[in-house]
């Protein structure tokens, strides 16, 4: 619950501080799911270009050309919102990382209040183990964030490579005619 509250509070303060025309957009965007690229799996399905449709028979020349034109328009539209989506996603990532870090700091602080109470060796060992576990948790959250970014990049490369394959098929079809 705490991270959600912190994100909501930051969104509210950002919309109050921002004087530009994006104020209303930022608060609306914060309440909506993040903007998605125009070139979605749904579009690729409709163009019969999705990975799961690779086993289907080849598209006709007209179907390849139509798919290329539609995909080209989708990429152009996607470029208009790309910078904004990038900023929103980076901000969401940064907020999530800050909130997790803040929560770990709060737990660490709470654990430290028990240090003076650790009189025997067993409780001291447990206390030290808790401190070590918190350090491992900090590192694990940073690795998870990094791996998540890498996965997003690989997914983007995959989507782009499908579009490039379509472009190459379109050119090959055009060259044959």
Q: What is the pLDDT of residues 19-46, one digit of tens each?
A: 333 333 333 444 444 455 556 667 666 6
As a whole number of Å, the end-to-end CA separation of the chain is 61
In angstroms, the Cα distances linking 158 to 24, 26, 123 are 34, 30, 51
Task: Please give the share of the chain, as a percent, with pLDDT higher than 70.
Answer: 67
Q: What pLDDT, on the 0 to 100 scale, is given for residue 43? A: 67
Q: What is the DSSP letter of 54?
A: T
Mean pLDDT, the chain, whole residue set: 75
Taking the C-alpha atoms of residue 81 and residue 151, their distance in angstroms, rounded to an integer, is 21
């Amino acid at each position: 619950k705490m991270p959600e509250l912190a994100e909501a509070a930051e969104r509210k303060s950002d919309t109050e501080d921002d004087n530009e025309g994006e104020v209303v957009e930022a608060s609306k965007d914060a309440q909506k799911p993040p903007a998605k690229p125009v070139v979605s799996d749904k579009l690729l399905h409709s163009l019969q270009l999705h990975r799961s449709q690779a086993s289907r028979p080849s598209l006709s020349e007209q179907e390849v050309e139509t798919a290329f034109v539609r995909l080209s328009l989708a990429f152009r539209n996607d470029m208009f919102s790309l910078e904004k989506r990038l900023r929103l996603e980076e901000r969401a990532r940064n907020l999530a990382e800050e909130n997790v870090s803040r929560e770990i700091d709060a737990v660490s602080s709470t654990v430290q209040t028990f240090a003076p109470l650790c009189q025997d060796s067993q409780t001291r060992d447990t206390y030290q183990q808790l401190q070590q576990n918190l350090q491992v948790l900090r590192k694990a959250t940073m690795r998870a964030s990094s791996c998540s970014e890498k996965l997003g990049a690989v997914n983007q490369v995959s989507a782009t490579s499908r579009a490039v394959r379509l472009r190459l098929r379109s050119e090959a079809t055009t060259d044959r005619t």
